[in-house]
Amino acid sequence: MVCDLLVVGCGLSGSEFLCNLLQALCERPPSRPVGISVIDRSGKFSRGIPYSDLSPPDSLLIESVERSTPPDFHEWLVDKEREPRFGRAGELVSSVQWLRQHGADIARRRFADMYCPRHLFGDYQQAKLERSLDRARSLGVASVSFQVDEVVDLAADGGAGWCARLASAESVRFCSAVLSVGAIPRVPHPSLFARDGYIEDLYADGFTSFKAVVRDRPANRIDVAIIGANAGAIELIYCIETDADLRRKIRGISTISTEGFLLPGCLSSEEKTSSYLGFDFPSAPAYVDAARNSIQERRLRTVKGKVVSLSKNRDQIVVRLADSSELRAHVVVHCGGAGRMDKHSSGLIASIQKMIPSCENRFNKGFKLDAGTYKISGAARVSILGPLLNGDTVQSYVESISTIHRIAPEVARHVFEDIIRDLSQPSELEARRVRSGRYQP
């Protein structure tokens, strides 16, 4: 397959980038339709992990609607609430109920203390991309294809071209690429699996494996240890506390973190409930209340420590901490942060590291970029958007809706300029594109 632009990963970042690029193409139509290939391994186009069914249906935005989402989304909510027939096939019951409950506040545009279901934000982002695609198609400025597959390898293809190899063994030749692949995956534990009571990634299946592991334990008084105490941990605590069956089976929940607090809400079982580092971490009050109740019922405790190893011992997992203490639990869930660039946990990132030695930034959390461009230093046609920008490149944490919405237009502007430049200087790749017959105008 041959295209002008390859977009790898189409969660919120890939989708917001596409909306901006398509808008630029509609405003300044190119000399022929631009061929864009979008590849995502989960197939959750526009939604990615947080806003699709990879998160439980009642998952809420971490920050308030006002603080974290664009004004356009607020107006979408107002229209949605007014829609006479919301609650149609395909809409989540939890989202419909939430809209009904919050109708009055939505109509009055009171968004400051509102935490809406993340799936609703996914509905909005998907509708936004569909609108952009329809407009671009009707104006004939782009030909966009979507494919469920994984890009496992990226390499220069001689001249100005590049080549991506897919898990399906197909390959894609392209001139420019945007990597919007989310956070760097953690290296999985080599010998512990769900059958042992170990959940490496809660969001691989919307908590289904976690619930199955708890359900399948014969004992009723089981202990759960959560590695990490950030947004994922508090979401799991909320899931347990709002599910009567899980509550009945689970005797204790321990979060283990270097801070010893549950960061969203800054709760601690040592009653040191406080602002951490002098500022509040935002979190949906429903989540904070669930964690507070769990502490009061003596189910949840927060442990300060650093996990150094995990091992299986009969029906439990032994969690060893850096101070040589240990903790035993029937189920251990890893809610720690993302992986690092040096872990080689992603074939795609490893292939770029092989091609461009020392391409990682000084925090090892993303790539070194050419100043002001969002392009990988040494691979000037490969742009980055999303968590891979974390580090010193952007002056904020790029794992939030607001930052992605702020940066996507800039990435799109640079890529748009490259595409327009390419179209004015037909290359060998352009000749191949025409010969291959794919993305023909």
Shortest reach from residue 347's CB to ligand FAD, in Å? 7
The smaller minimum CB distance to ligand FAD, of residues 32 and 41, is found at 41
Shortest reach from residue 68's CB to ligand FAD, in Å? 4
The smaller minimum CB distance to ligand FAD, of residues 186 and 328, is found at 186
Shortest reach from residue 31's CB to ligand FAD, in Å? 30
Shortest reach from residue 198's CB to ligand FAD, in Å? 19
Pairwise CA distance, residues 150 & 166, whole Å: 5
The smaller minimum CB distance to ligand FAD, of residues 151 and 240, is found at 151
The smaller minimum CB distance to ligand FAD, of residues 404 and 419, is found at 404
The smaller minimum CB distance to ligand FAD, of residues 398 and 419, is found at 398
Query: Can you give the length of the chain in residues?
Result: 441
The smaller minimum CB distance to ligand FAD, of residues 27 and 342, is found at 342
Shortest reach from residue 328's CB to ligand FAD, in Å? 27
> Which residues contact ligand FAD (rule: CB under 6 A)?
8-9, 11-14, 39-42, 44, 48-50, 55, 61-63, 68, 118, 150-151, 180-182, 203, 231, 348, 386-387, 399-401, 404
The smaller minimum CB distance to ligand FAD, of residues 217 and 340, is found at 340
Shortest reach from residue 364's CB to ligand FAD, in Å? 18
Shortest reach from residue 204's CB to ligand FAD, in Å? 11
